[in-house]
């Protein structure tokens, strides 16, 4: 399966969410930058309920948005990836109305900073 097929725009995500609501399915949305994926992030993501990963624009991305979306789409527990380039997360949440929202941006920033610090330490030794 080509996991890139999981990457959708807001209109398609809205249609998917409406279908889940019609069926009475509870679903979750996790928002983040998905710039650095670690086992900690993957373990923190829920498994079982349908899950949409909303890929946001970080202040200083390490990877281009397409690569970050593909990383998120490659995770087994992620059903769809929503690209929110330039779109406000709050607007998307109002339109999609997920049953649960998990905000991972702060953790994503910490993971990126830790990776950069690690690389700098390795370069100095």
DSSP the chain: --GGGGEE-HHHHHHHHHHHHHHT---EEEEE--SS--HHHHHHS--SS-EEEEE---SS-SS-HHHHHHHHHTSTT--EEEE-TTS-HHHHHHHH--SEEEE-HHHHHHHHHHHHHHHHHHHH-
Under the banding of pLDDT at 50, 70 and 90, the label for residue 46 is low
Per-residue pLDDT tens digits for 76-93? 889 999 988 666 899 899
Output the domain CATH number for residue 18: 3.40.50
What domain count does the chain have? 1
Range with the poorest average pLDDT among 6-20, 63-77, 111-125: 111-125
pTM recorded for the entire structure: 0.84
Provide the domain limits for residue 30. Answer: 3-124
């Amino acid at each position: 399966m080509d996991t890139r097929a999981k990457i959708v725009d807001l209109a398609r995500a809205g249609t998917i969410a409406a279908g889940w609501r019609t069926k009475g399915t509870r679903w979750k949305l996790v928002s983040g930058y998905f710039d650095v994926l670690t086992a900690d992030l993957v373990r923190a993501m829920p498994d079982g309920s349908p899950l949409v990963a909303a890929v946001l624009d970080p202040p200083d991305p390490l990877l281009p948005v397409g690569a970050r979306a593909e990383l998120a789409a490659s995770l087994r527990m992620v059903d769809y990836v929503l690209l929110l380039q330039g779109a406000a997360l709050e607007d998307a949440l109002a339109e999609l109305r997920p049953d649960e929202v998990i905000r991972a941006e702060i953790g994503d920033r910490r993971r990126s900073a830790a990776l950069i610090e690690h690389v700098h330490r390795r370069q100095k030794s």
